[in-house]
Protein backbone atom coordinates (compact mmCIF):
# COMPACT_ATOMS: atom_id res chain seq x y z
CA UNK A 1 0.00 0.00 0.00
CA UNK A 2 2.81 2.32 0.91
CA UNK A 3 4.60 1.51 -2.33
CA UNK A 4 1.45 2.20 -4.33
CA UNK A 5 0.95 5.52 -2.61
CA UNK A 6 4.55 6.47 -3.30
CA UNK A 7 4.19 5.63 -7.00
CA UNK A 8 0.96 7.61 -7.20
CA UNK A 9 2.57 10.55 -5.43
CA UNK A 10 5.48 10.57 -7.89
CA UNK A 11 3.17 10.86 -10.90
CA UNK A 12 3.55 14.21 -12.67
CA UNK A 13 0.59 16.53 -12.66
CA UNK A 14 -0.80 17.84 -15.94
CA UNK A 15 0.67 21.28 -15.21
CA UNK A 16 4.12 19.76 -14.63
CA UNK A 17 3.86 17.80 -17.88
CA UNK A 18 2.88 20.98 -19.67
CA UNK A 19 5.86 22.92 -18.28
CA UNK A 20 8.32 20.15 -19.15
CA UNK A 21 6.92 19.86 -22.68
CA UNK A 22 7.02 23.65 -23.07
CA UNK A 23 10.70 23.69 -22.04
CA UNK A 24 11.61 21.09 -24.65
CA UNK A 25 9.69 22.92 -27.35
CA UNK A 26 11.06 26.39 -26.63
CA UNK A 27 14.61 25.01 -26.49
CA UNK A 28 14.39 23.02 -29.72
CA UNK A 29 17.32 23.64 -32.08
CA UNK A 30 16.80 25.99 -34.99
CA UNK A 31 14.35 24.61 -37.56
CA UNK A 32 13.60 21.48 -35.54
CA UNK A 33 10.63 22.35 -33.33
CA UNK A 34 8.19 20.35 -35.45
CA UNK A 35 10.34 17.22 -35.02
CA UNK A 36 10.65 17.84 -31.29
CA UNK A 37 6.90 18.46 -31.06
CA UNK A 38 6.12 15.13 -32.69
CA UNK A 39 8.32 13.26 -30.22
CA UNK A 40 7.09 15.24 -27.21
CA UNK A 41 3.49 14.50 -28.11
CA UNK A 42 4.13 10.76 -28.41
CA UNK A 43 6.04 10.62 -25.12
CA UNK A 44 3.56 12.79 -23.23
CA UNK A 45 0.50 10.72 -24.23
CA UNK A 46 -1.74 13.54 -23.06
CA UNK A 47 -3.19 15.62 -25.87
CA UNK A 48 -4.60 18.36 -23.67
CA UNK A 49 -1.28 18.87 -21.87
CA UNK A 50 0.58 18.85 -25.19
CA UNK A 51 -1.77 21.37 -26.82
CA UNK A 52 -1.46 23.70 -23.84
CA UNK A 53 2.35 23.41 -23.98
CA UNK A 54 2.46 23.92 -27.75
CA UNK A 55 0.13 26.93 -27.56
CA UNK A 56 2.49 28.57 -25.08
CA UNK A 57 5.81 27.44 -26.58
CA UNK A 58 5.42 27.97 -30.33
CA UNK A 59 4.85 31.77 -30.18
CA UNK A 60 7.94 32.12 -27.97
CA UNK A 61 10.01 29.93 -30.28
CA UNK A 62 8.83 31.65 -33.47
CA UNK A 63 9.58 35.14 -32.12
CA UNK A 64 12.93 34.10 -30.63
CA UNK A 65 14.08 32.53 -33.89
CA UNK A 66 12.54 35.27 -36.08
CA UNK A 67 10.72 32.66 -38.13
CA UNK A 68 9.74 33.88 -41.58
CA UNK A 69 6.33 32.84 -42.95
CA UNK A 70 4.94 33.34 -46.44
CA UNK A 71 1.83 35.49 -46.43
CA UNK A 72 -1.41 33.93 -47.60
CA UNK A 73 -1.69 36.16 -50.66
CA UNK A 74 1.94 35.36 -51.62
CA UNK A 75 2.83 39.06 -51.57
CA UNK A 76 5.94 38.35 -49.51
CA UNK A 77 7.17 36.96 -46.22
CA UNK A 78 6.37 38.25 -42.77
CA UNK A 79 8.89 37.90 -39.94
CA UNK A 80 7.47 36.77 -36.62
CA UNK A 81 9.03 39.19 -34.16
CA UNK A 82 7.98 41.25 -31.16
CA UNK A 83 8.82 44.40 -33.12
CA UNK A 84 6.04 43.74 -35.64
CA UNK A 85 3.51 42.29 -33.20
CA UNK A 86 0.29 44.33 -33.32
CA UNK A 87 -2.08 41.91 -31.54
CA UNK A 88 -2.67 38.29 -30.68
CA UNK A 89 -1.11 36.24 -33.49
CA UNK A 90 -1.00 39.37 -35.70
CA UNK A 91 2.23 40.69 -37.20
CA UNK A 92 2.89 43.73 -39.33
CA UNK A 93 4.79 43.49 -42.58
CA UNK A 94 5.94 47.12 -43.02
CA UNK A 95 7.01 46.60 -46.63
CA UNK A 96 3.52 45.74 -47.87
CA UNK A 97 1.64 47.64 -45.13
CA UNK A 98 -0.27 44.46 -44.30
CA UNK A 99 -0.92 42.51 -41.14
CA UNK A 100 -0.60 38.73 -41.22
CA UNK A 101 -2.61 36.58 -38.82
CA UNK A 102 -0.60 33.44 -38.17
CA UNK A 103 -1.07 29.98 -36.74
CA UNK A 104 2.01 29.64 -34.56
CA UNK A 105 1.83 25.87 -34.14
CA UNK A 106 1.45 25.21 -37.87
CA UNK A 107 3.85 28.07 -38.65
CA UNK A 108 1.67 29.39 -41.44
CA UNK A 109 -0.28 32.52 -42.32
CA UNK A 110 -4.05 32.05 -42.17
CA UNK A 111 -5.23 35.53 -43.12
CA UNK A 112 -3.96 38.91 -44.35
CA UNK A 113 -5.54 42.30 -43.76
CA UNK A 114 -4.48 45.88 -44.62
CA UNK A 115 -2.67 47.64 -41.79
CA UNK A 116 -4.67 50.31 -39.98
CA UNK A 117 -3.46 53.94 -40.12
CA UNK A 118 -2.42 53.86 -36.46
CA UNK A 119 -0.24 50.82 -37.14
CA UNK A 120 1.79 52.67 -39.77
CA UNK A 121 4.24 55.59 -39.45
CA UNK A 122 3.69 59.08 -40.83
CA UNK A 123 4.68 59.82 -44.42
CA UNK A 124 7.81 61.66 -43.19
CA UNK A 125 9.01 58.63 -41.21
CA UNK A 126 7.92 56.19 -43.89
CA UNK A 127 10.22 57.85 -46.43
CA UNK A 128 13.24 57.13 -44.21
CA UNK A 129 11.96 53.64 -43.42
CA UNK A 130 11.15 52.52 -46.96
CA UNK A 131 14.45 53.73 -48.45
CA UNK A 132 16.43 52.01 -45.70
CA UNK A 133 14.37 48.86 -46.28
CA UNK A 134 15.20 48.93 -49.99
CA UNK A 135 18.94 49.27 -49.29
CA UNK A 136 18.87 46.41 -46.81
CA UNK A 137 16.93 44.19 -49.21
CA UNK A 138 19.80 44.55 -51.69
CA UNK A 139 22.34 43.63 -49.03
CA UNK A 140 20.38 40.66 -47.71
CA UNK A 141 19.68 39.37 -51.22
CA UNK A 142 23.40 39.44 -52.05
CA UNK A 143 24.57 37.94 -48.77
CA UNK A 144 22.07 35.47 -47.33
CA UNK A 145 20.51 32.50 -49.09
CA UNK A 146 16.78 32.64 -48.39
CA UNK A 147 17.27 35.61 -46.09
CA UNK A 148 14.56 38.10 -45.15
CA UNK A 149 14.63 41.50 -43.50
CA UNK A 150 12.25 44.10 -42.15
CA UNK A 151 12.52 47.66 -40.88
CA UNK A 152 10.05 48.59 -38.14
CA UNK A 153 9.44 52.07 -36.74
CA UNK A 154 9.52 51.38 -33.01
CA UNK A 155 9.47 54.96 -31.73
CA UNK A 156 8.39 58.38 -32.99
CA UNK A 157 6.25 57.09 -35.85
CA UNK A 158 3.89 60.08 -35.60
CA UNK A 159 6.60 62.67 -36.42
CA UNK A 160 5.37 64.82 -39.30
CA UNK A 161 8.68 66.53 -40.08
CA UNK A 162 12.14 67.48 -38.82
CA UNK A 163 12.58 68.36 -35.17
CA UNK A 164 11.66 65.04 -33.55
CA UNK A 165 13.66 61.92 -32.74
CA UNK A 166 12.57 58.53 -34.05
CA UNK A 167 13.81 54.96 -33.97
CA UNK A 168 13.86 52.00 -36.34
CA UNK A 169 14.50 48.36 -35.55
CA UNK A 170 16.10 46.40 -38.36
CA UNK A 171 15.60 42.64 -38.28
CA UNK A 172 17.56 40.26 -40.52
CA UNK A 173 16.74 36.56 -40.48
CA UNK A 174 18.21 33.77 -42.59
CA UNK A 175 17.99 30.03 -42.10
CA UNK A 176 19.32 26.95 -43.82
CA UNK A 177 17.34 23.87 -42.83
CA UNK A 178 18.14 20.43 -44.14
CA UNK A 179 17.40 17.77 -41.54
CA UNK A 180 17.39 14.95 -44.09
CA UNK A 181 20.47 15.65 -46.16
CA UNK A 182 22.60 18.70 -46.82
CA UNK A 183 25.64 19.01 -49.04
CA UNK A 184 27.61 21.80 -47.44
CA UNK A 185 29.58 24.06 -49.74
CA UNK A 186 31.25 27.11 -48.24
CA UNK A 187 29.81 29.87 -50.39
CA UNK A 188 27.55 32.26 -48.47
CA UNK A 189 27.18 33.49 -44.94
CA UNK A 190 24.58 31.16 -43.47
CA UNK A 191 26.51 28.21 -44.88
CA UNK A 192 29.58 29.50 -43.03
CA UNK A 193 28.03 28.51 -39.71
CA UNK A 194 27.95 24.91 -40.95
CA UNK A 195 31.52 25.24 -42.20
CA UNK A 196 32.65 26.26 -38.72
CA UNK A 197 31.09 23.17 -37.22
CA UNK A 198 32.47 20.88 -39.88
CA UNK A 199 35.90 22.05 -38.76
CA UNK A 200 34.94 21.58 -35.13
CA UNK A 201 33.78 18.05 -35.83
CA UNK A 202 36.97 17.23 -37.71
CA UNK A 203 35.77 17.45 -41.31
CA UNK A 204 37.42 19.45 -44.04
CA UNK A 205 35.79 21.90 -46.48
CA UNK A 206 33.17 19.74 -48.20
CA UNK A 207 31.43 16.73 -46.70
CA UNK A 208 28.06 15.06 -47.02
CA UNK A 209 26.34 16.10 -43.79
CA UNK A 210 23.11 14.40 -42.84
CA UNK A 211 20.95 16.33 -40.38
CA UNK A 212 22.14 19.91 -40.14
CA UNK A 213 20.39 23.24 -39.60
CA UNK A 214 21.58 26.76 -39.03
CA UNK A 215 20.36 30.33 -38.77
CA UNK A 216 21.65 33.88 -38.76
CA UNK A 217 19.68 36.49 -36.83
CA UNK A 218 20.64 40.12 -36.35
CA UNK A 219 18.71 42.95 -34.74
CA UNK A 220 19.80 46.57 -35.18
CA UNK A 221 18.39 49.49 -33.19
CA UNK A 222 18.75 52.66 -35.29
CA UNK A 223 18.14 55.90 -33.38
CA UNK A 224 17.74 59.13 -35.35
CA UNK A 225 18.60 62.01 -32.99
CA UNK A 226 17.49 65.22 -34.61
CA UNK A 227 18.94 67.62 -32.02
CA UNK A 228 22.43 66.09 -32.33
CA UNK A 229 22.10 65.38 -36.05
CA UNK A 230 23.45 61.89 -35.48
CA UNK A 231 22.21 58.35 -36.04
CA UNK A 232 23.27 55.86 -33.37
CA UNK A 233 23.29 52.17 -34.23
CA UNK A 234 23.33 49.24 -31.81
CA UNK A 235 23.42 45.69 -33.12
CA UNK A 236 23.11 42.16 -31.81
CA UNK A 237 24.13 39.27 -34.05
CA UNK A 238 23.30 35.66 -33.23
CA UNK A 239 24.27 32.49 -35.06
CA UNK A 240 22.84 29.07 -34.29
CA UNK A 241 23.82 25.80 -35.91
CA UNK A 242 23.03 22.19 -35.13
CA UNK A 243 24.97 19.26 -36.56
CA UNK A 244 23.84 15.78 -35.67
CA UNK A 245 25.29 13.03 -37.79
CA UNK A 246 26.80 10.45 -35.45
CA UNK A 247 27.02 13.17 -32.83
CA UNK A 248 25.23 16.20 -31.44
CA UNK A 249 27.05 19.51 -31.79
CA UNK A 250 25.45 22.93 -31.43
CA UNK A 251 26.76 26.42 -32.02
CA UNK A 252 25.10 29.29 -30.17
CA UNK A 253 27.00 32.53 -30.36
CA UNK A 254 26.17 36.22 -30.35
CA UNK A 255 27.93 39.54 -30.67
CA UNK A 256 27.00 43.11 -29.80
CA UNK A 257 28.34 46.20 -31.52
CA UNK A 258 27.81 49.97 -31.72
CA UNK A 259 28.39 52.60 -34.37
CA UNK A 260 27.07 55.94 -35.54
CA UNK A 261 26.75 58.13 -38.60
CA UNK A 262 25.54 61.61 -39.52
CA UNK A 263 21.81 62.34 -39.74
CA UNK A 264 21.40 63.03 -43.48
CA UNK A 265 18.73 62.83 -46.14
CA UNK A 266 16.70 59.61 -46.31
CA UNK A 267 18.78 58.30 -49.23
CA UNK A 268 22.20 59.14 -47.74
CA UNK A 269 21.22 57.91 -44.27
CA UNK A 270 19.99 54.61 -45.71
CA UNK A 271 23.23 53.99 -47.61
CA UNK A 272 25.36 54.84 -44.56
CA UNK A 273 23.33 52.62 -42.20
CA UNK A 274 23.32 49.68 -44.64
CA UNK A 275 27.10 49.97 -45.06
CA UNK A 276 27.61 49.99 -41.29
CA UNK A 277 25.48 46.87 -40.88
CA UNK A 278 27.30 45.16 -43.74
CA UNK A 279 30.68 46.05 -42.21
CA UNK A 280 29.92 44.74 -38.72
CA UNK A 281 28.27 41.54 -39.88
CA UNK A 282 31.10 40.73 -42.27
CA UNK A 283 33.69 41.54 -39.62
CA UNK A 284 32.02 39.26 -37.07
CA UNK A 285 31.74 36.33 -39.45
CA UNK A 286 35.38 36.76 -40.49
CA UNK A 287 36.49 36.74 -36.85
CA UNK A 288 34.47 33.58 -36.17
CA UNK A 289 35.94 31.79 -39.14
CA UNK A 290 39.46 32.74 -38.07
CA UNK A 291 38.94 31.54 -34.49
CA UNK A 292 37.47 28.19 -35.50
CA UNK A 293 40.17 27.56 -38.06
CA UNK A 294 42.61 27.63 -35.12
CA UNK A 295 40.63 25.09 -33.09
CA UNK A 296 43.00 22.15 -33.73
CA UNK A 297 45.88 24.04 -32.09
CA UNK A 298 43.92 25.60 -29.23
CA UNK A 299 40.52 24.50 -27.98
CA UNK A 300 40.69 20.87 -29.14
CA UNK A 301 43.79 20.30 -27.03
CA UNK A 302 42.11 21.70 -23.94
CA UNK A 303 39.19 19.31 -24.35
CA UNK A 304 41.30 16.14 -24.14
CA UNK A 305 43.86 14.73 -21.77
CA UNK A 306 47.34 14.59 -23.20
CA UNK A 307 47.45 10.79 -23.34
CA UNK A 308 44.24 8.86 -24.10
CA UNK A 309 43.58 5.39 -22.71
CA UNK A 310 45.59 3.88 -25.58
CA UNK A 311 48.68 5.72 -24.24
CA UNK A 312 49.16 7.03 -27.79
CA UNK A 313 49.71 10.71 -28.44
CA UNK A 314 46.92 12.26 -30.49
CA UNK A 315 48.23 13.52 -33.88
CA UNK A 316 47.28 17.19 -33.47
CA UNK A 317 49.24 18.16 -36.56
CA UNK A 318 46.78 16.30 -38.77
CA UNK A 319 43.36 16.55 -37.10
CA UNK A 320 41.38 17.76 -40.10
CA UNK A 321 41.73 14.47 -41.93
CA UNK A 322 39.56 12.60 -39.45
CA UNK A 323 35.86 12.08 -39.00
CA UNK A 324 34.66 12.03 -35.43
CA UNK A 325 33.93 8.32 -35.40
CA UNK A 326 35.36 5.92 -37.95
CA UNK A 327 38.62 7.63 -38.83
CA UNK A 328 39.74 8.57 -35.31
CA UNK A 329 38.86 5.07 -34.09
CA UNK A 330 40.85 3.53 -36.91
CA UNK A 331 43.88 5.79 -36.38
CA UNK A 332 44.09 5.17 -32.63
CA UNK A 333 43.23 1.49 -32.77
CA UNK A 334 40.06 1.87 -30.74
CA UNK A 335 37.26 -0.70 -31.09
CA UNK A 336 39.34 -3.36 -32.78
Gap between the Cα atoms of 69 and 80, Å rounded:
8
pLDDT of 52 reads 94
What global pTM score does this model have?
Answer: 0.78
CB atoms within 10 A of CB 98: 20
pLDDT of 77 reads 92
pLDDT of 334 reads 54
Buried b (16+ CB within 10 A) or exposed e, 225-238: eeeeeebbbebebb
pLDDT of 51 reads 94
pLDDT of 202 reads 39
Residues 132 and 273 sit within 8 Å (Cβ to Cβ): yes
Residues 54 and 37 sit within 8 Å (Cβ to Cβ): yes
Alpha helices in the chain (DSSP H): 2-10, 14-26, 33-44, 47-64, 123-143, 189-201, 266-293, 299-302, 326-332
Find the farthest-apart pair of alpha carbons in the chain and give their distance in angstroms, rounded. 80
Concatenated DSSP letters for 173-211?
EEEEEESS-EEE---SHHHHHHHHHHHHHT--S-EEESS
* Domain boundaries, given as residue ranges, for the chain: 2-64, 66-120, 121-293, 296-332
- Fold: same for 2-64 and 121-293: no
Architecture of the CATH domain 2-64: 2-Layer Sandwich (3.30)
Give the pLDDT means over successive 10-residue stretches in the chain (336 positions). 47 88 91 90 90 95 94 89 94 96 95 95 97 96 90 95 95 77 39 44 37 83 96 94 68 90 97 97 86 64 58 60 53 52
pLDDT of 11 reads 78
3 state SS of 225:
strand
pLDDT of 66 reads 95
pLDDT of 30 reads 83
pLDDT of 310 reads 65
Domain 121-293 CATH assignment equals 3.90.1150.210: yes
Long-range CB pairs of 57-62, under 8 A, 24+ apart, other chains included: 57/21, 57/22, 57/25, 57/26, 57/33, 58/25, 58/33, 58/104, 58/105, 58/107, 59/89, 59/104, 60/26, 61/25, 61/26, 61/28, 61/33, 62/102, 62/104, 62/107
Roughly how many angstroms between the first and final C-alpha of the chain, as a whole number? 51
CATH topology of domain 66-120: Ribosomal protein S3 C-terminal domain (3.30.1140)
Choose among 301, 201, 204: nearest CA to 251.
201
Amino acid sequence: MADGEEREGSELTREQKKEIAKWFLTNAPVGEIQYVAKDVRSVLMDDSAYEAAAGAAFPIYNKTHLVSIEMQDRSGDVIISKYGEVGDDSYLDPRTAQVAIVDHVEQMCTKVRPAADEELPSSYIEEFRSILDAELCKYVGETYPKGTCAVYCTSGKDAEGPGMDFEFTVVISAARRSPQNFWCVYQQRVVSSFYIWILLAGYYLIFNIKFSNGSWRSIWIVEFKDDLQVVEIKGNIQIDAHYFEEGNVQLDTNNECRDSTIFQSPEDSAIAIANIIRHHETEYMTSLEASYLNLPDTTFKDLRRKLPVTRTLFPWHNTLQFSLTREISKELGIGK
